[in-house]
Amino acid sequence: MTPSPQGDERASRPPLLEIVIPARNEEGRLPGGLLQLCAKLARMPFPTAVSVVDNNSTDRTAQIVRDWPAGPVPVSLVTCPVPGKGAAVRAGLLGTTAPFVGFCDADMATDLDAIDEAFGLLLAGERVVIGSRAVEGSHVENRHSKVRELGAFGFRALAGVLVPGVSDTQCGFKFFDGVLARDIAAVLRTPGFAFDVELLARCLEQGSEVHEIPVCWRDMPGSRFSPARHTLGILVELGRIWLRLRARPGPAVRPAWEPPLDPVGSP
């Protein structure tokens, strides 16, 4: 596919918005997700870009990104050898340069029309805008088992202690002021499933309100999250986050990663 001259010119300008996609063994879902996202962003009246973070994939995830055709929305590859969705999102955010950034899941479970509202709120001065399946106006198609739903309820209760006022920390659709996102990503220490909690808690700690917006969300097949295998690791991650947030603030340096306790990946 040969890009148009207009596409060449647009892609050559610095993006106003960059979106990060964490991906581990996503060769099945990534092509369709990228097509959807690039088509949506190509309709935006300003330059945009996408970064896919390959998180130790053993399939063709990285090659799909390398072979992605040139177009009005540049798609780049970032590699992250540290296991875990949190590690991948951190690497992706630290690699951005745009004034506004965000991340979403490779399966595009959240309807991408929500990007319009999220970006509009960022332009209006909000610094953190996240999709929420728990606020009025959201539409959720949920196929989770009762055990997983119970686990999600317990997680929300614990997360609420760390991020009071935020009803849904785990929806994979979050957008930020770029400077704030990079500052917060630099000090994140949680590589696994609970990283969203630390990310949002750090935003609140810096005085940035978390603005939740309603979304249309579908439970997509292919989730790797298992309550039986991952619950203990998540509880330990939440405990570590609680301890870090209450520790005496130190110098703003990029810390080393703690080794993950469990291969907790995307929800």
Encode pLDDT of 163-182 as tens digits: 999 999 999 999 999 999 99
pLDDT at 151 exceeding the cut of 90: no
Q: What is the pLDDT of residue 230?
A: 59
- Please give the DSSP secondary-structure letter assigned to residue 2: P
CA-to-CA separations, 127 to 37, 65, 139, 195, 255, in angstroms, rounded: 22, 29, 24, 18, 24
pTM value? Answer: 0.86
Among 3.40.50.10490, 3.50.50.60, 3.40.50.300, 3.90.550.10, what is the CATH number of 12-245?
A: 3.90.550.10
Q: What is the pLDDT of residue 80?
A: 97
Task: Name the percent of the chain lying above pLDDT 90.
Answer: 70
Question: How many whole angstroms separate alpha carbon 231 and alpha carbon 264?
Answer: 9
pLDDT at 29 exceeding the cut of 90: yes
3 state DSSP class of 248 = coil
Distance spanning both ends of the chain, measured CA to CA:
34
Please name which of 232, 211, 61, 37 lies closest in space to residue 154, comparing C-alpha atoms. Answer: 232
Q: What is the pLDDT of residue 208?
A: 97
pLDDT at 5 exceeding the cut of 80: no
